[in-house]
Amino acid sequence: MQTHEVSTDEGQAVTTRVIGNARSNQSAHSLNVRKLSCLRDDRVLFDNLNIHLDAGQVLLVEGRNGSGKTSLLRILCGIRLPESGEVFWCGKPIHELGAAFHEQMAYVGHHDGIKGDLTVLENIRLARALGKPSSAAIDDILEQIKLSGYEDVMTQALSAGQRRKLALSRLLATDSLLWILDEPFTSLDRSAIEMFEGFMLAHTAAGGMVILTSHHEVNLKGLTPISLCLSP
């Protein structure tokens, strides 16, 4: 397991940290982060961060609350702009790629990103329509997340755990290479967590990548995630 501890003193730049090993610089699908830095309210969250992630790898971002994990993930999605540095997907900056990058990634953040006034089925269809649809049938997806029979239930009537599963179902409904997940296992019970860990394993085995933060311990059988620890 590769772990790099990072600490930041107030206002001082941190030496370059490199996470992940660059097996090949221009692999077919890879996420490259160069000299990324992020500020919040004049506080440096992280500085000079370098990451290289290849197909089949999982990056686990750890750190205490407020250490910048969510900000990092949002920068990797392209939602948030870094103070300096760039994120590259397959060699090109993500802001140049725009929708082409978004087509290949899926993000599940703190909010579920589902509409309470729509049914479960409508929400899955919506997630599909917004991204690149996967070949999985909707019934199969519902079966996999154990929400079969809930097709026509209003999402606001579901429990928090069920809503979280629905939010995560977009990973199955769309065909994306890069999964960026912020605390995906919130509100999930043990069996649901194991189920999604299984999905992540299958995804990486098929050549996908996962970046996630989690307070829970992540147990991926046979696959050791690359660990990045941001600490304030």
Partner 1 sequence: MNRLLRFYHQLGSPPYFYRISGRLLPWFSLLCFGLIAAGLWGGLVEAPADYQQGDSFRIIYIHVPSAWMSLFIYMVMAVCGAISLIWHMKLAEIISISSAPIGASFTFLALATGSLWGKPMWGSWWVWDARLTSELILLFLYFGVIALYAAIEDKRTATRAVSILALVGVVNIPIIHYSVEWWHTLHQGPTITKFDKPSMHISMLIPLLYMAVGFKLYYFVVVLMRSRGELLRREANSKWVNDLLESK
Partner 2 sequence: MNQRSLFRAFLFLLKRDLIISFRRRSEVVNPLLFFVIVITLFPLGIGAESKELQSIAPGVIWVAALLAAMLSLDSIFRSDFEDGSLEQLLLSSHPATVLVLAKVTAHWLVTGLPLVLIAPLLAVLLGLPGEALTTLILTLLLGTPVLSLVGAIGVALTVGLRRGGIIISLLVLPLYIPVLIFGSNAVQVASTGLPVDGQLSMLSALLALALALAPLPTAAALRMSLT
Summarize as ranges the residues that interact with partner 1 (CB under 8 A): 11, 41-42
Is 103 near partner 2 (CB under 8 A)?
yes
* Cβ distance to partner 2 smaller for residue 19 or 127: 127
Outline where DSSP puts E strands in 90-208: 92-93, 105-108, 178-182
* Cβ distance to partner 2 smaller for residue 155 or 226: 155
Phi and psi at residue 167, to the nearest 5°: -60, -40
Alpha-carbon distance of 141 to 124, in angstroms, equals 9
109 binds, among partner 1, partner 2, none (CB under 5 to 8 A by kind): partner 2
Q: Would you put residue 217 in left (φ > 0), alpha (ψ -120 to 50) or beta?
A: beta
The separation between CA 112 and the C-alpha centre of its own chain, rounded to angstroms, equals: 13
Stretch that binds partner 2, among 18-26, 27-35, 101-109, 183-191 (CB under 8 A): 101-109
Residue position matching structure tokens 């919130």:
186
Residues 42-81 touching partner 2, rule: CB under 8 A, are 74, 77-81
Strand pairing partners for 19?
A: 51
Alpha-carbon distance of 194 to 203, in angstroms, equals 14
Among 14, 122, 144, 186, binds partner 2 (CB under 8 A): 122
- DSSP symbol at 112: -
The separation between CA 93 and the C-alpha centre of its own chain, rounded to angstroms, equals: 18
* Cβ distance to partner 1 smaller for residue 11 or 222: 11
* Cβ distance to partner 2 smaller for residue 155 or 225: 155
Is 129 near partner 2 (CB under 8 A)?
yes
Alpha-carbon distance of 158 to 180, in angstroms, equals 24
Among 131, 184, 208, 225, binds partner 2 (CB under 8 A): 131
* Cβ distance to partner 2 smaller for residue 208 or 225: 208
Among 85, 93, 109, 232, binds partner 2 (CB under 8 A): 109
- H, E, C per residue of 206-226: CCCEEEEECCCCCCCCCCCCE
Nearest approach in angstroms of CB 126 to partner 2 is 6
DSSP element (H, E) containing 19:
strand 17-19
State the sign of the Cα–Cα–Cα–Cα dihedral 167, 169, 173, 175.
positive
* Cβ distance to partner 2 smaller for residue 19 or 166: 166
11 binds, among partner 1, partner 2, none (CB under 5 to 8 A by kind): partner 1
Is 130 near partner 2 (CB under 8 A)?
yes
Q: Which residues contact partner 2 (rule: CB under 8 A)?
A: 74, 77-81, 99-100, 102-103, 105, 107, 109-118, 122, 125-127, 129-132, 170
